[in-house]
Amino acid sequence: MTIKLMVVDDSPIICKMIKRVLEPQGIEVVFYAENGQVCLDNYDEFKPDVITMDVSMPVLDGLDTSRALIAKYPDVKIILMSSMSDDTLVETAKEIGIKYFASKPIDGDELFKVINEILGL
């Protein structure tokens, strides 16, 4: 089974890094969104199994995007990815309903493990 992943991040380099570490593990990046609004506009079409979500992005940031996604699709699987992981940010994310986090720089093994955990594999 191929796992479908949507990468939401304003840096295309991050998407490239994620593809490099996850595609050999059978995880396919089905869509890259450069901001939260692009993610919301394309979610229905691609219906990813899991989303990696950056926090700071132009147009619509990762927290507001996640809030909107969770309200519309309560079962959506989101991994918040950020270079920042201070207590306030983590608390805010949890209040929104985000349960999974991965830090930047990307650690392929850590991310793969979190994806498996979030999908119950």
Residues that bind other proteins (CB under 8 A): 10-14, 16, 20, 56, 58, 82-89, 104-105
CB 84, min distance to other proteins, A: 4
Instruction: Identify which of residues 28 and 91 has a Cβ nearer to other proteins in the complex.
Output: 91
Q: How far is the CB of 86 from other proteins (least distance, A)?
A: 4
Return the number of the residue (76 or 111) whose C-beta is nearest other proteins. Answer: 111
- φ/ψ of 20, rounded to 5, equals -60, -40
Contacts of 17 (CB under 8 A, 6+ apart): 105, 106
Query: Shortest gap between Cβ of 45 and other proteins (angstroms)?
Result: 26
Alpha carbon separation from 37 to 3, 57, 62, 102 (Å, rounded)? 23, 10, 10, 21
Q: Is 42 or 103 the residue whose CB approaches other proteins more closely?
A: 103
> What is the DSSP annotation of 94-111?
HHHT--EEEESSP-HHHH
